[in-house]
Structure 1
Amino acid sequence: IQRYPDIIKYIPLFDRFLAFEDDNTSKNISICTNFYLEKIISDQKPTIENKAFLLATFQKNRIKETLALKQILDKIKFNNQFILYCNEKEYRNTLKDNGISIIKKPISYSDSLKMTLQSTVLIDIHNPIHNGLSFRIFEALGYEKKLITTNKEIAKYDFYDPRNILIWENQCADEIDAFCNSAYHQIDSRIKEKYALENWIKHYSSL
C-alpha cells in the first residue's frame, strides 16, 4: 500500500480489503499472502535446465544484491539468466557488463512462466518498501523450484525449509554451489496446496 498509495481512497468502497502485509491504514484491511496458479502448468511440458532465473524491474535499492549474487553464480559456473526491465540509462552498461539482459518492454506472464518452469532455482531480490512475500516465492513453492531470496520474513512461513530456500546473506560461493546443486526436497502436499489459487480463493472468501 505504501508503494501504491493511490489505492487508499478506494479501500472504504469495499467491505474487506486484502493486503499481503500488516498495514494500519484502515480497519477493514485483512492480511493475506500471494498465491500460485496451480492449473496453468498442465499444458506446459518444459525442458528443465540446471539454471537460476531472475526476472525483475530495475530498482537502485536492489542492484547491489542482484550484482553480488550474479557474480557468485558466474564464479561457481552455475548457469543463470538474469533479466531486468530497466529504463535507467546510467545503469545499463554496468548491468550488461555483468551479463544481465536488459529489456525495455515487460515480458508477458506466460513467457515469464515458461522461463520459470525451465529453471531449477528462482531468484527473489526483496523490495525493502514492503515485507510481504512476492509472487516469485509462491511460484517456487507451487512449481517445486529451489529459491534464493533476500526476504528474511520467509523464515516465518510454514513452507520454509532451508533445504529448498536460501536466505541470501552474502554466503560464500561454496554454500551457494552446494545449495544450487542439491535436490529439491518435497514438502507436505497440504502445505503446498494451501497456497494454490483455488484454495486461496476458498480460504479468503470464507473469512
Structure 2
Amino acid sequence: MKRVLLIAPVFFGYYKDMILEAEELGYHVDYLCDAPSNSNTSKALGRINKKLISGSAKRYYKEKALPLVEKEQYDKVLLVAGMTCAFTSDMFCEMRRLQRQAEFILYQWDSEVNLPYCKSIHPYFDRIYTFEKADSEQNKIYRFMPTFYTRIYEKIGKKERPVPRYDCFYVGTAHPKKYLEINRMAEDLKPELPRQFIYHYIPSVLKYVYHKVTAKEYRHARYRDFQKVKLSGADIVKGMEVSTCILDAPQGGQTGLTLRCFECMGAKRKLITTNADIVNYDFYRKSNILVYPGTEEERKAFFENPYEDLPEELYRKYSMNSWMKRLLSGEES
C-alpha cells in the first residue's frame, strides 16, 4: 500500500476529511499538524511573526515530525499550507534528504501575499498548487486549483430542504476586511433578509488588540462585538442546513474563492459574496450567486428565482474526493 505523509492545519477538522479521501484512494496516511500547538495564543503569535514560536516549532519537529520521517518511507509528502504552518525551509530540506524517493506536493491555502514564508520552501517541492488564481497567473511555478466541499455538505444538498430558520447565515474568523464587509452586507440586506445569524469569531484578546492597533477596519469595533467561542464544524453545518443563503467575503490579500463558496454549492444553498471573480467560474449562476451589491437585474434574478441545480459533473469536480485525487495523481482537472 502506498503511503502519504499529510501535514495540514487542524482548521475545522478538514484534515480528517483529507485523510478519509486519501485512504479511499488506496493510501495509508500518517498525519502531522502543521504547528506545534493548536492554542489560540500560539496561532495568534505565529500569524503575527513566526519567530515568536520558533522554539516550540523546533521542539515539535524534533520530537514529533523527525522520528516519523526517519522511520517511515513515503510515496508522497503533502503539505496543505495556511497561515499557521510553522515548518521551516531547513526542516523541509532535512525531510527531503530523508525521503528521497517521495514526491513532495505543496497546496497553498492562501495567497502569496498572506503566506510570504512559502517562497522559502518552494525549492523542496516537486509540485506546487494554489487556490489563488492571481498568483498562478503571475508565477508559473503554481498550478491553479480551487478548494472543495466535503461529504457532509453533499449530504445536505441531497436532503429535502427544511423550513428555513435564517434568511442569511455567516460564521467566520473576524479578519479585518472580512469583518467590515460582512457587517455592511448584513445591514444593507436586512429588508430582503431580516432573519440573520452573524457570528464573528475572535480567537484571542491578543488578536483583537493587534487588529485594533493595525487595522482601520477595527476603528469602531468593540471587543464585546465578537464571539469568543469557536463554533464547531458540525454547528456550522447545522446552521447552513436551516438557512436560505450564506454570506461570504474574502479576507484581505485574497482574490481566490473561500471554502464557503464551494460548501454552498455542495449544500445547494444560495450565496452572496463580495468576490467579483466568482462570475468567471464554471458553476456561477445568477439565480444561485449574487456578487454584492449587484445590479437591480442581478438582485431580481437572485431573490426571485429558486436555486438552480448544476450539472452533476460540476458537483463531482469540486468535491474533496476530486481535489485529493488531482493532488496525489498530478492530473489536471
**Same fold (TM > 0.5):** yes
Q: Supply the distance in 2 between the matched residues of 1:188 and 1:34 (Cα, whole angstroms).
A: 19
Q: Secondary structure of the residue that 1:91 maps to in structure 2?
A: coil
- Change over 3 Å in CA distance of 1:77–1:156 after alignment to 2: closer
Tell me the percent identity.
Answer: 27
Instruction: Considering fraction of residues, name the structure with more helix.
Output: 2
Give 2:321's match in structure 1, choosing from 173, 178, 198.
198
| Amino acid paired to 2:309 | Q
Give 1:54's match in structure 2, choosing from 170, 180, 195.
170
1:92 and 2:207 are equivalent in the alignment: no
Q: How many residues align?
A: 200
1:37 and 2:150 are equivalent in the alignment: yes
Q: Supply the distance in 2 between the matched residues of 1:155 and 1:39 (Cα, whole angstroms).
A: 25
1:17 and 2:140 are equivalent in the alignment: no
With the length of structure 2 as denominator, give the TM-score of the two structures.
Answer: 0.52
With the length of structure 1 as denominator, give the TM-score of the two structures.
Answer: 0.81
Q: Secondary structure of the residue that 1:121 maps to in structure 2?
A: strand
Shift of 1:195: 0.3
Q: Is the 8 A contact 2:290 2:298 kept in 1?
A: no
CA RMSD of aligned residues (A): 3.1
Give 1:139's match in structure 2, choosing from 252, 263, 274.
263
Q: Supply the distance in 1 between the matched residues of 2:153 and 2:285 (Cα, whole angstroms).
A: 25
Q: Is the 8 A contact 1:124 1:137 kept in 2?
A: yes
- Cα deviations by residue, 1:24-47 (Å, 9 ceiling, x for unpaired): 786542111000012565499784
Give 1:150's match in structure 2, choosing from 271, 274, 294.
274
Flag as ranges the 4+ runs of structure 1 deviating above 4 A. 24-27, 39-48, 174-178
**Runs (5+) with no aligned partner, structure 2:** 1-111, 210-219
Q: Is the 8 A contact 2:286 2:298 kept in 1?
A: no
1:67 and 2:197 are equivalent in the alignment: no
Q: Is the 8 A contact 1:48 1:117 kept in 2?
A: no
Report the structure number with the largest CA radius of gyration: 2
Deviation larger for 45-54 or 191-200: 45-54
- Change over 3 Å in CA distance of 1:28–1:65 after alignment to 2: closer
Q: Secondary structure of the residue that 1:161 maps to in structure 2?
A: coil
Q: Supply the distance in 2 between the matched residues of 1:175 and 1:152 (Cα, whole angstroms).
A: 13
- Change over 3 Å in CA distance of 1:107–1:177 after alignment to 2: farther
Q: Supply the distance in 2 between the matched residues of 1:91 and 1:131 (Cα, whole angstroms).
A: 25
Counterparts in 2 of 1:148-187, with a 5 A limit?
148-169=272-293, 176=299, 179-180=302-303, 182-187=305-310
Q: Supply the distance in 1 between the matched residues of 2:123 and 2:259 (Cα, whole angstroms).
A: 26
